[in-house]
Structure 1
Amino acid sequence: MADHVHLAYDYPLLGAFWTVMWIFLWIMWLMLLFRIITDIFRDRRLNGWAKAGWLLLILVLPFLGVLVYLIARGRQMGEREIHHVQEQQKAFDAYVRQAAAGSAGGVEQLATLTDLKNRGEISEEEFRRAKEKILG
């Protein structure tokens, strides 16, 4: 048995503060590291050897590698992030426009079918089959 048992109230407040601070700094470090690795692979102007070199530097000498990367390429990181977000927004807008155009055509076709059925030019069975075809 141990001579001294550590209880939760034996842990000093300053010790808890330092523990929380180190955990916070560790999480910040991981976020920065992953952000830089993502930026390395996202940059289309770097060739494969340059990407491999930056990645090797960051993995072998992490603190020095991150510091050098931020000094050398930190300003363009934000610009590349903005460009990436703009490309995603353009792709999303194009998808929405395409989906809206496709659904608008279906609405017009359903309106025409309903009008034909109301005038008696097509039967209920023909209306149902055409409607399933449009919605299908």
Structure 2
Amino acid sequence: MLRFILLILLFLTQMVFGQRATDEVAVKETIDKFFAGFHQQDSLLIKETVYTPVMQTIGSDKEGNTVVKTGTFSDFLKSVVSIPGNKEFKEELLGYDIKIDGDMAHAWTPYEFWFNKKFSHCGVNSFQLVKQNDTWKIIYIVDTRRRVGCK
């Protein structure tokens, strides 16, 4: 009987950890798809990855004070698609730290941003996602931007 109980516990543990690994992959794929749309300037592809996201940036003003800027998702899309075709830009993600609790996920992604093959700035993206109908959607993005203290 003890053996039977241990087998059931082992099976349930594998199911939980297996689902968690599957969800981590799905969260990463959602973020990767968001950035594929970003780099291709494809607003429709970006929209597939989000659920009316809140978008904020933390940076510094001219005096060096920390400021939080809140933008709209529609303004973000307009800015992405309006980048001239002769300009090259790339946000290179340096890693993923993904945490999941039920239908909520958080992903921390350090990055470097390059414009016309020149380093522009670095920082971290913080994504909040929700799982609806077995699909992960981004609901909140906040990032930091700085030019000092980068690798």
Instruction: Please give the TM-score of this superposition, normalised by the length of structure 2.
Output: 0.28
Mark the structure with the bigger radius of gyration.
1
More helix by share: 1
Q: TM-score, normalised by structure 1?
A: 0.31
The higher-RCO structure (CA 8 Å, 6+ apart) is 2
Of Structure 1 and Structure 2, the greater strand share is in: 2
